[in-house]
Amino acid sequence: MNEIIEKEFITSDLFRMKVKAPEIARKREAGQFIILIVDENGERIPLTIADADPEAGWIALVAQIVGKTTKALSQLEAGDSIKDLAGPLGNPTEVEKYGTVVVIGGGVGIAPAHPIAQAMKKAGNTVISILGGRTKDLVIMEEEMKAASDKVIVTTDDGSYGKKGFVTDALQKLIDDGVSIDLVVAVGPPIMMKFVSKMTKEYEIKTIVSLNTIMVDGTGMCGCCRVSVGGETKFVCVDGPEFDGHKVDFEEMMHRIQMYSHQEKEAMDKFLSK
């Protein structure tokens, strides 16, 4: 059992938790995730480790309520416990001194982008972060990202905060302004990662994306997280979660994520009617 030490809502459907998990806090690296089960009847869901304190023995999770399990998790409070937490899982981000790294976080993807920006900065890179949200309230962790970056650009789809437009507009502007970019790391909705990768492919800028497929076992056995990368079958849980954005078949991935939408809706309706 893993005790929740702190919990706060960032917006009405986005929350952050600090959970006691000393072993994971000690071992985790940027880019890695955990799989949790909320209670004995729960399904497994993956969440990125947004932050950790190895001395104090906690990890931080930031989750968006999209269905039954994230809803159930959001209803737990400090002092409650999460039944099972496995991790750290997945390969850590390949952190090197590349030069100028643009870290792009979209919506809840800003949380997983944060440790990546921190690690890239620590390795001596110039880090420019682009944070995007549909509207002002969905731009999270701006202060933390400022601390981990040389420059932060914020975009909102509706223009309620930062520059009006998509993260790709901000990236295009950097390119047009002549900023020499050595690496782009994009974490967020699949559609955002797809368009970022499309743009950087044109300019031949190496691009890493962190994929959020459906996962069950997290061990490469069940096949749920299968994606096609460069024509080869890969499993996000053990081969990823990060891949070359120019090689990912995003269309197939998006199609597979929608595969259980009927059952997901049914589970949520049942949960809410209890």
Ligand X SMILES: Cc1cc2nc3c(=O)[nH]c(=O)nc-3n(C[C@H](O)[C@H](O)[C@H](O)COP(=O)(O)OP(=O)(O)OC[C@H]3O[C@@H](n4cnc5c(N)ncnc54)[C@H](O)[C@@H]3O)c2cc1C
Per CB under 6 A, residues contacting ligand FES are 215-218, 220-225, 235, 237
Amino acid identity of residue 240, one-letter, is: G
Q: Which does 101 bind (CB under 5 to 8 A by kind): ligand X, ligand FES, none?
A: none
Query: What, of ligand X, ligand FES, none, does residue 258 touch, CB below 5 to 8 Å by kind?
Result: ligand X
Number of H helices, E strands in the chain: 9, 17
Report in angstroms how near the CB of residue 89 gets to ligand FES at its nearest.
Answer: 9
Q: Whose structure tokens read 């437009």? A: 165
Q: Which of 80, 206, 264, 271 binds ligand X (CB under 6 A)?
A: 264
Query: Shortest distance, CB of residue 218 to ligand X, whole angstroms?
Result: 9
**What does 241 interact with, of ligand FES, ligand X, none (CB < 5 to 8 A by kind)?**
ligand X
**257 touching ligand X, by CB under 6 A:** yes
- Two tokens at 41? 């009847």
Q: Smaller CB distance to ligand FES: residue 48 or 156?
A: 48
32 scored as a contact of ligand X (CB under 6 A): no
User: ∠ at Cα 95 (99, 143), nearest 5°?
Assistant: 80
Local structure of 168: helix, strand or coil: helix
Q: Which does 222 bind (CB under 5 to 8 A by kind): ligand X, ligand FES, none?
A: ligand FES
66, interface contact from ligand X, ligand FES, none, CB < 5-8 Å by kind:
ligand X
Residue 115 is a binding residue for ligand X (CB under 6 A): no
Q: Could you report how far apart the first and last alpha carbons of the chain are, in Å?
A: 25
Contact status, residue 130 vs residue 170, Cβ threshold 8 Å: yes
Quick one: DSSP state of residue 93?
P
CA–CA gap between residue 35 and residue 25 (Å, rounded): 14
